[in-house]
Amino acid sequence: MNLEYDAKEQQFRKQVRSFIEANLPADLRAKVLNHKRLTREDYRKWHLILYAQGWVAPNWPREYGGAAWTPVQRHIWEEETTRAGAPNVISFGINMLGPVLMEFGTKAQKDHYLPRILNCEDWWCQGYSEPGSGSDLASLKTSAEWIEDESGAYYLVNGQKTWTTLAQHANMIFCLVRTTTSMRKQEGISFLLINMKSQGVSLRPIITLDEDHEINEVFFDNVRVPVDNLVGEENLGWTYAKYLLSHERNNVAEVGRSKRELRFLKHLAMTTPSQNGSLLDDPLFARKVALLEAEMMALEITNLRVVSSDHGNSEPGPEVSMLKIVGTEVQQRLTELMVETVGPYSLPFDVDFLEGRRETAVTGHDAAAPLTAHYLNFRKASIYGGSNEIQKNIISRMILGL
Amino acid sequence: MDFTLTEEQAQLSDTLCRWLEKEYGFEQRRDTIASKNGTCARAWTGLSDLGLLALPVPEVLNGFGASGADMFGVMEALGKALLVEPYLATVSGIEFLKHDQDRFAGLLGQAASGVVRLACALGERQSRFDRFDVEMTTRIEGGAHVLNGRKTVVVHGAQADHLIVSARTAGNTRDPDGITLFVVPSDIRGLCRTDYRTIDGMRAADIEFANVRLPDSARLGAAGEAWPIIDAVSDYTCALLCAEAVGIMQAVNDTTLEYLKMRRQFDQPIGAYQALQHRMAELFIEVEQARSLAMLAASVARSDETSKRRHTISAAMIRVGQAATRVGQEVIQMHGGIGMSNEMQVAHYFKRLSVFGALEGDIDHHVARLARQPEFRHPD
């Protein structure tokens, strides 16, 4: 048992740190650190900087243009980039579709799509959830019918997806569609790649309770999809979906971000006056922060225990559910305490400031302005990616055998 | 970075677990608790034959020089077995003696071979968890140190052959400076011990010192400068307690899981109910989170970076303390009526988990301490 990072890992951290210092644009950093909303161009900018360095796909093997880092290196990378206030690399292409194509795609699919994911030519979104099939994903209804006519063979897709994150920025969507209804509901599902520009695809924004446009409904009305866009075999989509979900859970603990947010919270509390000096000197408030800090320290080690046990590239096991639950609870608690810290300045809802149309907040201070919206937005964390209740089902079934 | 036990650590832990299963069953333990002395000579010999007492003693004194990480697996195993012998008290005592190794080499050797047992007499009526709050006095008289005062709830104080005692040579009651440590043979004149059972099946004593005269050779470390040593040993003890609690929680979770699969109500195992499945999943998380910080605590248990050590140890005491309370209470609830029976092992696990915070500081104590460290005020 040795809980220290070894010399190579420390060296790697240094290398990462100096790269970020030299390359992360200051305006992007400021936006991220202050919880402001990012544009498509913001995400793209950072993506392309990483692409130029060859670091945009830490988990991909070198043959496909990835960095092929070990799980511990990836952890360090995540910690350092988030610490510095870099935006997330949007994970749909890099972390989700990429690994599926490498494992199950045809050579033509790999050759065409993988480089386009790396250089951000394609922006992917994920067509999984549907109205009525949330956690019970396998009950999905969007249909893809195999048609052969004078123009050749194609799939005719009809149905609706929902909660589609950042679909307004995407030109491609990977979808789970039902190709057969006669089988068990987990069978008869296929994995299809669809161009968002196809005739019959339409989009409707869903404005979330923080009045942000982050998610969408996607409608398919007699959309023709080339049969070459099928990944793997027809009706085996559920297998690929599960494989993808296991990769979706990379970095599910979000330790790096939570550490950054804890620092933010403390600075905020230290500059907030209270009867005892600063709010962080108030024993009642300090207690809340200290309890959260202990939970986070434990999460960091729990995460490292899971990460470092993954020596090869084995799929993460059910213990990842634990990371999802604790990780999201910690994130939510952080947002809660931030709102509490700024007190009355949590009230103003300053959309112009949030979206960068105005330089300074309408009242209070700039750091305070986005926090309530941020808190509201983060209620999603215990719902998405399999709700925390579903994660408890997974632990009780797969780890405890209940 | 490596979270696995080394081969030696795993081997020791395995051997110990096998020995405990064979020689230290629940009934054996019950008899020990009921006995006059509250400890079992045969078990003590067994532990010492396994090398457990020599483990933390430096190699130059025929010990094994074990690290905090080495002790993790041992304490975890002892937790699972709910050991009531004065092992932890002796190991903490050894940790004190190591701070003045030359002077106490002989006693360390005896402790390593299991010939003597130690206890740490630090707490007083007014001190709660503040080990610097010392009223017990000592004055020099005819070349001897003369101790007067009273120590309370000294774990295994009456079963120990030697006591490590803190007394004030200068300063006010709550002044960290001016405290001196002494190693006191328990049969010395003027020392009176009141032995009693503790709620978790162990023993503790209140100890009265009435003009106890000690030669200067009984002094441990420099006069008036004991606080950093006391602080360091308390942190070390905390790390061991965390490891023990993790062992207990793992055992009690395993037991409860079995019970949920076996116990039937309304024609199905109660473990088929989602209300219980989710609670059991939450307890699983409690133990893993507690284990993570207990491992971290073990790895910094002897660190010289004082404030970082305090920060980490307190975080562990907080998180393990929360888990201990929650897991203890929940497993009793999930066992239903049978969990309330003193015949059930789960009840005894619960009792030991319940005293966790009372031994080396409860959650509030450690929250306040964590918040005082520079690491809390000045995040990097």
Alpha-carbon span B16 to B302, nearest angstrom: 24
B43 touching chain A per CB within 8 A: no
The predicted pLDDT at position B339 comes to 94
Q: Which residues of B touch A266 (CB under 8 A)?
A: 376-377, 379
- Please give the C-alpha separations between residue B301 and each of B95, B215, B290, in angstroms, as whole numbers: 11, 32, 16
Alpha-carbon span B191 to B268, nearest angstrom: 60
Q: Which residues of B touch A8 (CB under 8 A)?
A: none
Whether A312 has a pLDDT exceeding 60, the answer reads: no
The predicted pLDDT at position A311 comes to 53
Residue B269's closest chain A neighbor by CA? A402
B260 touching chain A per CB within 8 A: yes
Alpha-carbon span B99 to B106, nearest angstrom: 14
- Which residues 340-399 on chain A approach chain B with CB closer than 8 angstroms? 389, 391-393, 395-397, 399
What are A243-257's pLDDT values in tens digits? 888 776 668 899 999
Residue A3's closest chain B neighbor by CA? B1
Radius of gyration (Cα) for chain A, nearest Å? Answer: 22
Q: Are A272 and A279 in contact (CB under 8 A)?
A: yes
B1, B314, B315 ranked by CB distance to A9: nearest: B1
The predicted pLDDT at position A135 comes to 82
The predicted pLDDT at position A310 comes to 63
Query: Which is nearest to B331 in space by CA: B286, B289, B272?
Result: B286
The predicted pLDDT at position A217 comes to 98
Beta carbons of A295 and B298 less than 8 Å apart: no
Contacts of residue B240, Cβ cutoff 8 Å, sequence gap at least 6: B71, B75, B88, B91, B92, B298, B301
B371 touching chain A per CB within 8 A: yes
- Which residues 61-100 on chain B approach chain A with CB closer than 8 angstroms? 69, 72
Complete DSSP assignment for A304-328: HHHHHH--SSPPP-THHHHHHHHHH
Low-confidence ranges of chain B (pLDDT < 70): 380
The predicted pLDDT at position B2 comes to 80
B274, B285, B299 ranked by CB distance to A3: nearest: B299
A283 touching chain B per CB within 8 A: yes
Assembly ipTM: 0.94
What are A320-356's pLDDT values in tens digits? 999 999 999 999 999 999 999 999 999 999 999 988 8
pTM: 0.94
Interface mutation vs chain B, best among A3, A79, A284, most B CBs within 10 Å: A3
What are A46-69's pLDDT values in tens digits? 999 999 999 999 989 999 999 999
pLDDT average, residue stretch A28-43:
95
Residues of A with catalytic function: 248
The predicted pLDDT at position B378 comes to 80
The rounded Cα B37 to chain-centroid distance in angstroms is 19
Question: CA triplet B372, A364, A41: central angle to 5 degrees?
Answer: 95
B6, B284, B316 ranked by CB distance to A400: nearest: B284
B337 touching chain A per CB within 8 A: no
Whether A316 has a pLDDT exceeding 90, the answer reads: no
Alpha-carbon span A41 to A32, nearest angstrom: 14
What are A132-191's pLDDT values in tens digits? 888 889 999 999 999 999 989 999 999 999 999 999 999 999 999 999 998 888 999 999
Residue B314's closest chain A neighbor by CA? A294
Question: Is residue A370 helix, strand or coil?
Answer: coil
Radius of gyration (Cα) for chain B, nearest Å? Answer: 21
Q: How many CB atoms lie within 10 A of CB B2?
A: 11
Whether A313 has a pLDDT exceeding 80, the answer reads: no
Instruction: Give the dihedral sign, CA A261/A266/A271/A276.
Output: positive
Interface mutation vs chain A, best among B284, B300, B364, most A CBs within 10 Å: B284
The predicted pLDDT at position A314 comes to 56
What confidence category does residue A276 fall into, taking pLDDT thresholds of 50, 70 and 90? confident
Q: Between A and B, how many CB-CB pairs are < 8 A?
A: 138
Alpha-carbon span B160 to B89, nearest angstrom: 9
Query: Which is nearest to A161 in space by CA: A197, A187, A123, A133?
Result: A133
Beta carbons of A392 and B379 less than 8 Å apart: no
Query: Distance from A142 to chain B by nearest Cα, in Å?
Result: 31
Tokens coding A16: 């990462």
pLDDT average, residue stretch A259-263:
96
pLDDT average, residue stretch A10-37:
96
Residue A261's closest chain B neighbor by CA? B379
Residue A286's closest chain B neighbor by CA? B371
Whether A2 has a pLDDT exceeding 90, the answer reads: no
Query: Helices in A24-123 by DSSP H: which ranges?
Result: 26-33, 40-53, 71-84, 91, 98-104, 107-118
